[in-house]
Amino acid sequence: MANAFYTSALKAFLDADIDLLTDTIKVQMIDAADYSFSAAHDFLDDVPAGARVGTAATLASKTTAGGVFDAADVTFTSVTGDPLEAIIIFKDTGVEATSNLICYIDTGTGFPLTPDGGNITLTFDSGANKIFAIGA
């Protein structure tokens, strides 16, 4: 699997239902053995709880300059559980059945990673595409 957007997220961007700067955007670490990406998935309730590693973290210092989304790196504390091979970015509404899935990312430095009870720092790409880019 390669990095991909969820189809419903692209529609939500066009309909202005997701605002990356003002909405609560979170990142969730994922065990790919327990979750298979489908572009048709739309909300967090499509991702089994058993596939989620650690607790989702809220992204801070978000920017969208030039169609490129970026945020501050995230530290997950005292992580235990299954190996993680991917992350999911989503808009958190407080209700899983309405929390829009945005993208699935499984190509990053350090994947896969097996938690050992310590902290995990997710360092986003410092290249041109940062977390993700929309457009050409």
pTM: 0.94
| Spatial separation of the C-alpha atoms in residues 76 and 121, rounded to whole Å | 6
- Which pLDDT score, from 0 to 100, does residue 109 have? 78
Beta partners for 5? 103
Averaged pLDDT score across all residues of the chain:
93
User: Which pLDDT score, from 0 to 100, does residue 4 have?
Assistant: 94
On whether the CB atoms of residues 17 and 48 are closer than 8 A, the answer is no
Output 1 or 80, whichever has higher pLDDT.
80
Residue in the structure block whose two tokens are 């360092």: 123
Maximum alpha-carbon separation in the chain: 41
Q: pLDDT tens digits, residue range 33-77? A: 999 999 999 999 999 999 999 999 999 999 999 999 999 999 999
Spatial contact of 54 and 23, defined as CB atoms under 8 Å apart: no
